[in-house]
Each structure stands twice: as structure tokens, then as C-alpha cells.
Structure 1
Amino acid sequence: MKREQIFEFFHRLAEANPAPETELEYGNVYQLLVAVTLSAQATDVGVNKATRRLFEIVKTPADMIALGEEGLKEHIKTIGLFNSKAKNVIALSEILVREHGGEVPADRDALTALPGVGRKTANVVLNCAFGAETFAVDTHIFRVCNRTGLAKGKTPLAVEKGLEKKVPKPFRVGAHHWLILHGRYICKARKPDCERCPVIDLCGYKDKILPQGDSPATPQKSRARKEKTA
């Protein structure tokens, strides 16, 4: 995808959703960190269902430590891998209290040093909580970037590096939200909903389903011509 196409790609997604946000529910930076940590191999819907009651009583790392590992498990037992996740959340909470004064650090290296926190989780926290220009490449973003030709890569890190180079300045903070939402609701894994796609003419996916009467190269222009002559 060329530079002009990339700008237009994000411009259209931004027009449709000017203020994109994560679908995880949280009340502060610490709760965001916990929610993102719990969301690994789980849906945002499932995490939100488990954390609503949890976050009523746990607002700080000290609260989480007081709840304890067994208490946390009771709240998150509907989430996949809840045993290991509970252990990691308690451990990272202890480190935050002991080494960071109970605050979540705005630093990727410090975040990834926490148990259960990988690069993707750190990037989400940095972006959502601190407004950093980071790209958290999950399965949706990995698929969308490779399928459309936006930023191809064989690994999430390769795709992330591609986005860092290619995403233009006006869209860098919101980019990973737009891509996640696009992959979650339109550019789906099994059957992309091409007929609803606002960037279909920019997409390089060879198996995309074009609206009837559009050409593979310029569907938007084809529609424009039809409207003009109608």
C-alpha cells in the first residue's frame, strides 16, 4: 500500500470513528493494566463481565494484594488461563507497590518487566493511558495489516515495526484502535464483510468480495461514475 493510500485508509476510518477507544472497561491506569493482562487469549466482553464487580473493590495494587490470589480467582474464573493470570496479577501488583510506589510506570521496559506483561500489553497501556504513539499488534491487527497490504510481516513485531514506519502523524495515536475495530467487526477472520468495508478499494486482499458492478482496481470511482450519469 502506497503512502497516499495509507493516509486515505486511516482518514476514512477516522471519519467513521473520530475518537476510537479500547472496548475494555476500566476506571484508572492500574485497572487498565489488569484488564489488558487478563485479556490475553480472551475476549474483551468476557473480561469486562469478570472485572465489573472486581473493579468495584479493587482500585489499586494494594487493594489487589489485600484481595489475594484465591480471592482474585473467584472473580476471574470465567476467563481462560485464570490460574496463571491471577498469579501474575498478584505478582505485578506487589512489584508496583514495592518498586513504583503503587503507580503504573509510563515506560515500556518497566512494564514488560512485570509478570504477565508482554510487549502488546505494554503498548496498549502506553497508548490508552499515556497517549503514546504505540501499536499493539493483536490477532486482528496482524490479520488486517497482512490481508490489506498495509504493513505485511511474518510476526507481530514485524507488523508493529511496519506500522511505526508507515502510519502518518495525524493517525498514530488512534491507529491501533481503528485497526482492531476494523478487524473485529468488518475484516473478520473467516469471512470479511467486504460490502461494509469503507476502504475496500484500497485493500490488496486478492479474495475480497467487491460490490456488484465495481472493478477490482477502482470500485469507489466506478460508483462515482454511475451516480454522476444517473
Structure 2
Amino acid sequence: MRILIWNENRHEQKNQKVREIYPKGIHGAICDFLTEAGHEVVTATLDEENHGLSDNLLNQTDVLIWWGHLAHDEVKDEWVDKIQQRVLQGMGLLILHSAHFSKIFKRLMGTSCDLKWREADDRERLWVIDPTHPITSGLGSYIELEKEEMYGEHFDIPTPDELLFVSWFEGGEVFRSGATYKRGRGKVFYFRPGHETYPTYYNDEIQTVIKNAVTWLKLTDTHQPSYGNHASIEKISKKD
């Protein structure tokens, strides 16, 4: 499993609180537990040359994890195009938290992906909607987070292929927090938790979801469909 974790990495530079919670960056925290799980993991950030991306790196990536917030518009469209093409070819894509507003997620969804939000230390309870799905394996009925940023409906996304989590927040809102999609040969999973000022990615159950997700997202069907003009399989008899 070859995983690429892409993180905007701006909050870590601007906010001391975020640096204290994630001294290695959000990408570093996720990298640590995925590496410990036995995966081959590399990281990339926005301010690196070409956003830390290359054609060779994308072509070798089984699953791309994406976290962004402050600078979605700074991601160059040429890389959005290339990531979209790789997803259509079969690369898995895990979109985390505020990356719901990233160019690549909006491109793949074809909608605004807008929502309500509030940062007020809400307690969050993520209810498991499909306990039989591989991504929810090993979980109980719900995951409870003491403090998180609230995201509320309406969430402007297409109807998910599968809805895995619905969140309830202490302030009363609910939210579709775990949704899967197929795009071309690739699979996409949106997972809501992960605001930068909370230690969410150190939570064992959140880590379980992410570890399950990367395994599910990896392409296992090696058949490549063919398109365009195609010779007949059977002999076509000529008609008078």
C-alpha cells in the first residue's frame, strides 16, 4: 500500500496552538500511525515545489489523503486535473474535514460542497450507520469526541453511494460525516472529523476509521475497461 498524505500545512505555521497539538503537522500525525500499521507513506505540503507533487509520485500512489482549509484556491488547477485523472484511473481518495471545500472534492462532486459550521467546543457523536462496511470494522455503535468543530446540514453534496456515519453535535445539529462515492475506477471517502485545534487524529477510533478507509480505497480490480471504436466479438452476418 503506497499512501500519499497531502496537507496544506498553513495552520501549523500560523497558529501556536496547532503547532503544540501537531508538532509534526497534521500530515505527520497521520503518517505516524499509518506507517506503524505497515504502509509505505510519503507526505507533501502546499508550499513545496509543485505542492510536493509530481507525475511520478501520483502514478505510484494507491491512496491519496487530502487535508486543506485556508488556501484551497492556491492549489494549481493543473494538479487538480492530474489528481482527478488518477482517481478516474483507480487511485483512492480520502478527503478529511475542511477539505470538503477543496478544489478536487468539489470537482469530483460537481456541487458547492457548502455547509454550516461553528467552532464552540461542541461534543460530537458519530453514529455508525452501516456496521457491516469494511470502513466501520472494529467500531462500536458510535465514536464520541469531547470537543470538535460543528458541521451542520444542509451539506451540499450528491447523494452518497454509501452513508457510513451521521454526526450529532451538542448544539443540536446533525451532519453526514462519512460518505463514499465511486468515480471512474476510483473510490472516494469523505470523513468529517479533524479540526486543527483539536487532537482528533490521536483518537484511536478515528485512527481505526482512517486505517480501514485506506485499505478499502485501494483498487483491487485490475481489469481496465476499453472505450472508443471497438471490433465485434462475434462475426456479423451481412444483411441484404
Larger Rg: 1
Point out the structure with the larger strand share: 2
TM-score by length of 2: 0.24
Point out the structure with the larger helix share: 1
TM-score by length of 1: 0.24
